Amino acid sequence: MIINKDVMRDYNERSVLQAIVNYGPISRNEISKKLGLNKVSVSDIVGSFADRKLVYSLGEAKSSSTSGRKPELIEYNSAYGYVINFSLNGMMLEMLVTKLDGRSLDYNTTSINSQSISEIVSKMEEMIVQLPNFETEFGLQAISIAIFGMVYQGEVVTSPFVDIDDFDLVGHFQNKYNVPVIVENEANLAAIFEQDFSKQELQNIVTVSIHDGIGAGIIINTQLYTGNYGQAGEIGRVIVQDERAKKRRLSKLPNFDSEWSQKALLYKATKLKNNPNYALDQLVADYNSQDEAITGLIEDFCYHLAVIVNNLIALYDPQMIFFNAPLIDKLPEILKNIQMKLGFMPLVPPLVMSKDVTYATLLGGASQAIHRVLHMEGARLIFHH
């Protein structure tokens, strides 16, 4: 079989960079052994990375031996540049800036309640202008934007929280900042975070994201699964069965977004408590004090969420299911309740909270952006925060 030299060189470069990012500081000899490449090829590739300032030398490694030359250690240069990551829903605009290893440099939020997309974009640009000068080699390298809605090939198909109105987010920011721009569904990015910010290699996982809506990020065989048109994981659109409404049109039936998202749950609680200002912290306090109305509401929530989890297990058979939800973060016993309700199933994977409910989506965006900057799409890179 004839192998194209350029293709082989590209494959070897990706493999060497992956080893340095994931296992560094590391010597050329260790890279050679891990990858089965000869030392000359490894040294040549590392040299080209050093010329581009992607890696740097830490000097000789410490050794217990007093004889022989100690190996030179190579480290990934996470200060090569930085990426800016936005999360955009109907109420809040978040921005997280990270180095190229996922570590945070800056975080900021601002309210965008019911503003137009052009006003929101102006706020995003203002937030960028207000950033300090970071000590990096080459400055801004990429931008990611998380959307609470359906995204297909970088375009927002629909969002219940922000009217994109055919605004070309990717084109606008690419033209203004001359860097790659990634637009992706927030639940998908939350799943990417769980995979890429973990030392454990996760092959098949689902992340259930519950905020103003409900979505699922699905990873199958280490790759994000979005379906044919980006609709995979839109579990908020799943119809809630209603025996009293058998003859109603399906479009008229309630769905999980309208009935059991965190926003919907709080709305139900405001009605139960006759308090229009009733908020999440008050709900948690009332639940912990055994308020009958609120404990009953949470029990109903657990039942319907167990239905969703049952279906996700049946459809995707994941090794773990993560939950990115402020409510469950404050009431982790909800997961135990769901686990018990699923006791009839032969195998139930671990149901666990996200490692970082606050920043999961933003850090998932950072991972996507960094992969794009390094031309490492599809490769496993382990990040930190």
Q: What is the CATH classification number for the domain harbouring 50?
A: 1.10.10.10
Same domain, 120 and 149: yes
Same domain, 90 and 216: no
Whether 149 is in a domain gets the answer: yes
Whether 378 is in a domain gets the answer: no
| pLDDT value of position 9 | 87
- Name the maximum alpha-carbon separation found in the chain: 85
**Residue 263's domain spans which residues?**
199-353
How far apart are the C-alpha atoms of 128 and 383, rounded to whole Å?
23
Q: Which of 27, 49, 76 is where one domain is finished?
A: 76
Please give the full DSSP string across 111-126, using - where no structure is assigned. Answer: E-TT--HHHHHHHHHH
Indicate the pLDDT class of residue 252, thresholds 50, 70 and 90.
confident
Indicate the pLDDT class of residue 180, thresholds 50, 70 and 90.
very high
Q: How many domains does the chain have?
A: 3
Whether 324 is in a domain gets the answer: yes
Whether 384 is in a domain gets the answer: no
Same domain, 212 and 315: yes
| pLDDT value of position 367 | 98
How far apart are the C-alpha atoms of 300 and 260, rounded to whole Å?
9
Whether 385 is in a domain gets the answer: no
Same domain, 105 and 165: yes
pLDDT at 167 over 60: yes
| pLDDT value of position 114 | 78
Return the DSSP state at 312.
Answer: H
Same domain, 338 and 219: yes
What is the percent of the chain where pLDDT is above 90? Answer: 82
| pLDDT value of position 350 | 96
| pLDDT value of position 68 | 60
Whether 382 is in a domain gets the answer: no
Same domain, 66 and 86: no
Q: What is the CATH classification number for the domain harbouring 90?
A: 3.30.420.40
More confident residue, 132 or 241: 132
Mean of per-residue pLDDT scores for the chain: 93
Same domain, 98 and 174: yes
Whether 381 is in a domain gets the answer: no
C-alpha neighbours within 13 Å on the C-beta side of residue 290: 0
Whether 337 is in a domain gets the answer: yes
| pLDDT value of position 115 | 86
| pLDDT value of position 7 | 86
Q: Which of 61, 76, 91 is where one domain is finished?
A: 76
3 state SS of 95: strand
Q: Which of 54, 76, 98 is where one domain is finished?
A: 76
Same domain, 334 and 252: yes
Alpha helices by DSSP H, listed for 114-261, are 117-129, 169-177, 186-196, 256-260
Tokens of 257: 């977004």
| pLDDT value of position 59 | 74
Segment 48-77, tens digit of pLDDT: 999 999 999 987 656 555 556 678 999 999
Same domain, 134 and 205: no
Same domain, 171 and 210: no
Same domain, 295 and 369: no
| pLDDT value of position 66 | 52
Closest listed residue to residue 185, CA positions, set 216, 157, 146: 146
What is the percent of the chain where pLDDT is above 70? Answer: 96
Same domain, 208 and 349: yes
How far apart are the C-alpha atoms of 187 and 193, rounded to whole Å?
10
Tokens of 345: 């199933």
